[in-house]
Amino acid sequence: MPGPRRRSILVSRLTDRPLGSPQDELRSIILDGQVPPGSAIPVDAVAAAFGVSRIPVREALMTLIGEGLVDHRPNGGYRVAMMTAREFAEIYLVREALETAGLRVAVELACADDDEQARAAHAALDGAIRAYDGRLYHRESRRFHLALIRPCRMRRLLHMLDLAWNQTEPLQPMSHLDSAERELLHADHAGMLAAFRARDADALIAVFETHHHRLQAAIEALPRDTGLFEPEDIQFRSSR
């Protein structure tokens, strides 16, 4: 006789949480890494948690599919999106190209206020290192990178970068690195900040390239048999 059905991890995260729209709340939970890639998203239970019908939940999930955060297949239901290790690496190549383009423009247009925002973001990274908090470091790392890139004022580039970055968030890659790897990456951040404040575009791009390749190498070394990545031989196609 089958035992009681286990409660969805995602639904449990909705408990005792101020609820906004299904789309915003589901996106926030996924991007915060509160549910691992591959976690089921039961439509009926989510609808009950929000006190709505299935229709707005399905509409929210369609939007999140378009953003690359949710997968769906006929007779397979919805789940937090997973990528193969190869697909994950491809997203990082896209991010590197977008960030490089944005940084070259940003360093020329930055002002004193941008310097202060970058400095504050770097100080928050210092705090995450001291706290040995991998998830906090992951979140503050994104804040720091965006503080350097946002002065480019290139709205479409920033939007594309945001979408690409979001697709890697369910896995929370920085949180899986050890403290020594984070220390090396943080040293790169210090070099990036110094070059940014000196308005030295060539030095900034050189440090950024070293930093990004170091991060890619660390991610490539993550184990492939722990459920972090979709196995290469499984095809899970998103569909409406």
CATH architecture of the domain 9-80 equals Orthogonal Bundle (1.10)
* Fold topology of 85-220: Four Helix Bundle (Hemerythrin (Met), subunit A) (1.20.120)
What whole-number distance in Å separates Cα of residue 152 and Cα of residue 106?
Answer: 4
Q: Between residues 193 and 10, which one has the greater pLDDT?
A: 193
Give per-residue pLDDT as tens, 38-60.
Answer: 889 999 999 998 999 999 999 99
For residue 233, the SS3 value is coil
For the stretch 149-167, pLDDT in tens is 999 999 999 999 999 999 8
Task: Work out the pLDDT band at 7, boundaries 50, 70, 90.
Answer: low
pLDDT band at 226 (very low <50, low <70, confident <90, very high): low
> Which neighbouring-strand residues pair with 79?
40, 71
Give the start-to-end residue ranges of the domains of the chain.
9-80, 85-220
Residue 189: half-sphere exposure toward Cβ, Cα within 13 Å: 27
Of 86-90, 126-130, 150-154, 236-240, minimum mean pLDDT range: 236-240
Q: Which one is predicted more confidently, 83 or 240?
A: 83
101-126 mean pLDDT: 96
The residue ranking higher by pLDDT, 152 or 6, is: 152
Question: Is residue 1's pLDDT more than 70?
Answer: no
Q: Name the nearest CA neighbour of 173 among 149, 142, 128.
A: 142
At 233 the pLDDT is: 63
d(CA 117, CA 208): 18
Average pLDDT value over all residues in the chain: 87
What pLDDT digit, counting tens, does each position of 62-75 carry?
A: 999 999 999 998 87
pLDDT for the residue numbered 3: 39
Rounded to whole angstroms, the Cα distance separating 1 from 74 reads 28
Flag whether pLDDT at 210 surpasses 80.
yes
Residue 4 has pLDDT above 60, yes or no: no
Model confidence at 2, pLDDT cuts 50, 70, 90, reads very low
What are the strands of the beta sheet with 40-41, ordered from one edge? 40-41, 77-80, 70-73
List, in order, residues 6 or more apart from 119 with CB less than 8 Å away: 193, 197
In percent, the amount of the chain with pLDDT more than 90 equals 53
Residues 7-32 have a mean pLDDT of 83
